[in-house]
Amino acid sequence: YSVDDDEKTLSSLEIIVPRDLADGFINNKRESYKFKFQKIFDQEAKQDVVFDSVAKPVAECVLAGYNGTIFAYGQTGSGKTFTITGGAERYSDRGIIPRTLSYIFDQLQKDSSKVYTTHVSYLEIYNECGYDLLDPRHEASRLEDLPKVTIMEDPDQNIHLKNLSLQQATNEEEALNLLFLGDTNRVIAETPMNQASTRSHCIFTIHISSKEPGSATIRRSKLHLVDLAGSERVAKTGVGGHLLTEAKYINLSLHYLEQVIIALAEKNRSHIPYRNSMMTSVLRDSLGGNCMTTMIATLSIDKRSIDESISTCRFAQRVALIKNEAVLNEEIDPRLVIVQLKKEIQELKDELALVTCKQRTSELSQEELLQLDELIETFLEDNDPDSTLDVGADMRKIKYCFIHVKQLMNHSKISDTKLLSQRTSEEKGTNKEAGEEELKKLKELLQQRDNEINILVNMLKKEKKKAQDALFQLNAASAGPTVLEKSLSINLEESQSPSSCFSLKEAKDFSSSVHRLPLLSRQTGGKMSLGCQEAFEVFKRDHGDNITIENNKELLKQR
C-alpha cells in the first residue's frame, strides 16, 4: 500500500494486490485499488494527532450546541478500540474518549459566561440486546439477569432509551471514572484474530446543556463516541459455539448499518431501514439526521485481511456521500419564562398605577360592582340609539360589563323559553279537550247509527218471515217445481243468518228471476212500509220482464 498525503487536495490510499499467476489460466484480477479520504493516518501516527484532526472539531461543535458523533468501523483486530478508548500501557496511548473528556472540561472551566451541566451514559449492544455499562449491578450479576435497555419512540420520532442511566459528571475525574467502570464491564473474548476482542458495540455519550445567566434559552447537545464490534469472516477465523453466535450478531448488525448507509446515499429513497437493528435506531440522528458525524475506518494491512480492508474503504466512501443537516439545539426553559413574565406583569402594573394615580387590585370592589350594575341597567333601559356605556379605560370593568350583559341575555332567553313551553302546554291541553269532545260526539253518532241498523235488521227479519209464510201458502195452493221451492227456502233460511241484509237482497233477486215477486208483492203489499212499497212499485215498473209478468198473472188468474 502507499499513502499520498497532500494538504491541498484529499489524501489518497492505494492498495496494490499482486496477481497470483497460475499455469494454464488467464488471470484478469484487478491489481490496484485507489481511495480518497479527507485524512489518512499511517501506522506511525500518534493518538494526539488523530484527536486533533478527527475529534477536536466535533467537540468544538458540541460545545457550541450541535450534536456530534464519532464512530470507528473496521474488521476485528484492526485497532478500533485502541483508537476510541486507547491503550492501558502508556498515558500517551489515551484514545479519543478520554482526550475528548479532557478537552471538553478544560473548555468548560475557561468559559465562565455560561452555566454548564454534563451527564454521561454508556450503552452496550451485545447480541442485539442493550445493557447499561454504568449499572452497579454488573459486578454481582450475570449479563442475562441485568435489565435490558429498550428503545422507545415519541410522536416526533425522537428515540428514548429506557433503563439507561444518566450519570452526572462535574469534572474530568468523575467522567473518566465512569468511562473506566464501563470499560471493565464490557464483553471481551479471545479470538483467533485478537487476544482481547470486544464482542459488542459500545456507545459512550456525553450530554452537555448550557445556559447564560438570566437567559431563558438553553442549549442541549450530545456527543456519541461509538466503538463498533469488529466484523469477521467465520470461514477464516474458524470460530464456533458461543463465539460463532456473537460473530453472527455482530455481522448482522453491521450489515444493517451498511443497508442504512446505502439507503441514505441513494437519492429519492423514501424509506430508510433504521428499525432493523438496535444500533441503527440509537444512531438515527447520527446517520442522516441532526448531527455532525465523523467516521474512522481502521484497516489491517495484512495479506490475509486485504479483502476486508478494501471492503472497509468502500464502505467509508459510501458513508462520505451522506449529507447531514446539523442545527443548533436551543430551547426555552419554561420556568425561567414564567419568572420573566411575572416580573414583566408587575412592572406594567406599577406603570399603570403611576399613570392613573390609582393602585389597582386584581378584583373590583363591591362599590364599583354596584355602580357598574346601575350603569348597565340605565344603558339597557335607554331607548336612544346614540347612548353609550362609558366605564373608562379599565379592562376589568369592561370585562365585567360584557359578562353581566351576557348573563342578562341568557336569563331573558331562559324566561322566553319557559314562556314558550308554557304556551305550548296550554295549547296542547286545549287541543286535547277539543279532541276529547269531538271523539265523544263521534262515539254518540256511532251508537245512534248502530241502533238504527239494529232496528232495520229487525224489520228485515220480520219482512223475511212474512215472505216465507206467503211462499209456503203459495206452495200449498199450487204445485210448482219442487226444485224452485227448495232453492227458495234455502235462500230464505240463509237470509236469517247474521248477514241478513245481503242475503235478503239475494233472495229478492232470485225470486224476481223466477217471476214470483209479483205474487209476493200481492201477498204482502198491504202490510209493507211506505218506503218499501214505493221502492217495490218502482222496481216492478222498471223491470225488463214486466210485460211477461203481467201476462203470466192473467194466465194464472184464468187457471
Length of the chain: 559
Residues 467, 523: Cα–Cα separation, whole Å: 8
Collect all residues with Cβ–Cβ distance below 8 Å to 479 and sequence separation of at least 6: none
- Strands 68-74, 217-227: pairing is parallel
Q: Is 74 annotated to bind ligand?
A: yes
| Segments of the chain scoring below 50 in pLDDT | 479-526
Q: C-alpha grid cell for residue 264?
A: 441514505
User: Grid coordinates 475557561 are at which residue?
Assistant: 110
Residue 75 counted as an annotated binding residue: yes
Please name the amino acid found at residue 285: D
| 198 in a known ligand binding site | no
Any residues with CB less than 8 A from the CB of 151 and at least 6 apart, and which? Answer: 130, 159, 160, 161, 162, 278, 281, 282
Flag whether 79 is marked binding.
yes
Do 298 and 74 meet the contact criterion of CB atoms below 8 Å apart? yes
**Residue of 123, 305, 323 lying closest to 224 (CA atoms):** 123
Can you say how many angstroms the Cα of residue 235 is from the centroid of all Cα atoms in its chain? 49
Residue at grid coordinates 233460511: 493
In 3D space, the residue among 271, 200, 206 whose CA is nearest the CA of residue 62 turns out to be 206
Task: List, for residues 200-239, the tens digit of each pLDDT value.
Answer: 888 999 999 998 887 778 899 999 998 888 777 665 565 6
Bridge-partner residues for 331, per DSSP? 218
Q: Which residue is it, cell 331573558?
A: 412
Other beta carbons within 10 Å of 233:
16
Dihedral angle, C-alpha 410, 414, 419, 420, nearest 10 °: 90
Domains of the chain and CATH, by start: 1-40 (no CATH), 43-334 (3.40.850.10)
Q: Tell me how far apart the alpha carbons of residues 431 and 425 are, in angstroms, rounded to a whole number.
A: 10
Residue 430 in marked binding region: no
Q: Is 544 annotated as a binding residue?
A: no
What's the pLDDT at 387?
79
Tens of pLDDT, residues 55-85? 999 999 999 999 999 988 888 888 888 898 8
Secondary structure (3-state) at 508: helix
| Strand partners of residue 294 | 70
Annotated ligand binding at 76? The verdict is yes
For residues 352 and 330, what is the distance between their CA atoms, to the nearest angstrom? 35
Helices (H) and strands (E) in the chain, counts: 17, 15
pLDDT (0 to 100) of residue 127:
84
Q: Which helix (H) or strand (E) holds 167?
A: strand 167-168
The cell numbers describing 551, all together, are: 201476462
Name the DSSP class of 148.
Answer: P
Residue 210 assigned ligand-binding role: no
